[in-house]
């Protein structure tokens, strides 16, 4: 399965991506995690993106697209993947389309996790305390939410037009949300096998 997990900062994408990835045997690929690992290890990439991510901005498309291209070329992603936090801009959508076309692959579904904003800010502030993430101050959280609304939320419409978008209520317990996602993926799978038959 080739999936995208879409949703605002704090919607629980990372948590759900890990669970879905384990259940379906496909790697969860998080651009945010890749950037954080590089920042931690002080690699050239990490030094390049450290300030941008700390201020809540988006890393330039050329950098992000190149990283995803490399990651998707790795063997474990050959038969499927779950993208968490990518694409985030229309430029990234176009780049991903190109990567998939080159490989002769297609997306199976885009799962959009929906949450209410107040709840999300609360979750992010709690996570800031737990994980000490540099980009989880209230000001930076607000900037990330603004950028999401402006740049990333519109991607849902792009995928809806392609018939790929599935909106899932992201409120409730982790298990409840996972259950909803699995229902969606079950339907996607049934629809795909009906077409194949
Ligand atoms: P969030 O909790 O906002 O979903 P992520 O862990 O996905 O955060 O990403 C953290 C930061 O890494 C983002 O705020 C951004 O600076 C950078 N980043 C991650 N993915 C992308 C992307 N696809 N394009 C540009 N910047 C990105």
CATH, residue 75 = 3.40.50.300
Please check the confidence at residue 72 and state whether its pLDDT lies above 70: yes
Distance between CA atoms of 4 and 84, rounded to whole angstroms? 6
- Mean pLDDT on 63-88: 97
Instruction: Enter the pTM of the model.
Output: 0.91
Nearest atom in ligand 1 to the alpha carbon of residue 124 is 2
Burial class (CB in 10 A: 0-12, 13-18, 19+), 72: buried
Q: How far is the CA of 147 from the centre of ligand 1 (A)?
A: 10
Nearest atom in ligand 1 to the alpha carbon of residue 135 is 14
Is 90 annotated as a binding-site member? Answer: no
| Residue with CA at minimum distance from ligand 1 atom 12 | 32
Please check the confidence at residue 197 and state whether its pLDDT lies above 70: no
Q: How far is the CA of 31 from the centre of ligand 1 (A)?
A: 6
Collect all residues with Cβ–Cβ distance below 8 Å to 80 and sequence separation of at least 6.
1, 2, 3, 24, 25, 26
Number of domain units in the chain? 1
pLDDT tens across 81-126, in order?
999 999 999 999 999 999 999 999 999 999 999 998 877 888 788 8
- Pair of tokens at residue 182: 């699995």
**pLDDT confidence of residue 140:** 87
Ligand 1 contact, 136 CB (< 6 A): no
Distance between CA atoms of 175 and 195, rounded to whole angstroms? 30
Domain with 165, as residue range(s), is 2-196
**pLDDT confidence of residue 137:** 82
CA angle 47/132/35 to nearest 5° reads 30
| Least-confidence region, from 38-47, 53-62, 129-138 | 129-138
Is 13 annotated as a binding-site member? Answer: yes
| Residue with CA at minimum distance from ligand 1 atom 14 | 56
| Residue with CA at minimum distance from ligand 1 atom 1 | 9
Distance between CA atoms of 40 and 43, rounded to whole angstroms? 8
């Amino acid at each position: 399965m080739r999936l995208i997990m879409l949703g605002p900062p704090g919607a629980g994408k990372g948590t759900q991506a890990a669970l879905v990835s384990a259940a379906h045997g496909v790697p969860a690929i998080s651009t945010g995690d890749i950037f954080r690992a590089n920042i931690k290890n002080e690699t050239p990439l990490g030094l390049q993106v450290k300030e941008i991510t700390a201020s809540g901005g988006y890393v330039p498309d050329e950098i992000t697209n190149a990283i995803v291209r490399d990651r998707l070329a790795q063997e474990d992603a050959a038969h499927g993947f779950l993208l968490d936090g990518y694409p985030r801009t229309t430029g990234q959508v176009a780049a991903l389309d190109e990567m998939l076309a080159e490989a002769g692959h297609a997306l199976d579904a885009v799962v959009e996790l929906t949450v209410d904003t107040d709840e999300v800010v609360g979750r992010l502030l709690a996570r800031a305390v737990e994980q000490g993430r540099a980009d989880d101050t209230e000001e930076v959280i607000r900037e990330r939410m603004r950028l999401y609304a402006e740049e990333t939320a519109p991607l849902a419409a792009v995928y809806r037009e392609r018939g790929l978008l599935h909106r899932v209520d992201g409120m409730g317990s982790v298990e409840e949300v996972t259950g909803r996602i699995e229902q969606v993926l079950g339907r996607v799978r049934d629809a795909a096998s009906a077409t194949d038959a």
